[in-house]
Amino acid sequence: MPPGKLPLVVDARSAGPGVVPAPTAAHPVVPAGITAHRSFAVDVPPAASAGCRGAGTPPKSAASGHAPAALVYRELDLRAFVDEATEIQGRANGFTDEERGRRRRVIATRAGEAHTCAVGAFSEGRLVGFCYGAPFTLQWPWAATIAPAVHSCSFALLGSPFVVLELHVMPSMWRLGVGSALLRQVHRHTKARWTMLTRKASSQQAELFYLSQGYAGLPIQLGQYTVMAAQLPLGHTRG
User: What domains can you pick out in the chain, each with its CATH number?
Assistant: 12-231 (3.40.630.30)
pLDDT in tens, 84-95: 999 999 999 899
Report the alpha-carbon distance of residue 101 to residue 104 in Å, rounded.
5
Q: What is the pLDDT of residue 205?
A: 84
In this prediction the pTM is 0.71
- The answer on pLDDT for 29 being more than 50 is no
pLDDT in tens, 147-192: 999 999 999 999 999 999 999 999 999 989 999 999 999 999 999 9
Length of the chain: 239
